[in-house]
Amino acid sequence: MEGAEALVRMKDKDGSIVGPAEFIDMASATGAVSILGEQVFAKVCEFIRDGGLEACGMKWVHVNVGQCSVCAVVWQNA
């Protein structure tokens, strides 16, 4: 395996998996999608920093970043 993609999966109270088709729309509607994106990006950065890529024999991890997240970073750095 050369690389991977960071994917979010959530569990509800009974432990069953809630797929992105269910939680992304809710996160978008409540404004939480940016927070979710930041958490995913932070976790991937921790994984890389802690040697996860090398330990798994990978060279890269793809992270899908939403338009709003990119705009927020550009705005903060302006």
Distance, CA of 3 to CA of 53 (rounded, Å): 8
- Model pLDDT, residue 1: 79
Residue 35: per-residue pLDDT: 84
Distances (CA, A) of 34 to 9, 19, 55: 16, 18, 29
What tens digit of pLDDT does each residue of 11-35 get?
999 999 988 888 888 888 888 888 8
Specify whether the CB–CB gap between 36 and 27 falls below 8 A: yes
**pLDDT, tens digit, 9 for 90 and up, residues 44-70:** 999 999 999 999 999 999 988 765 555
pLDDT for 72 equals 55
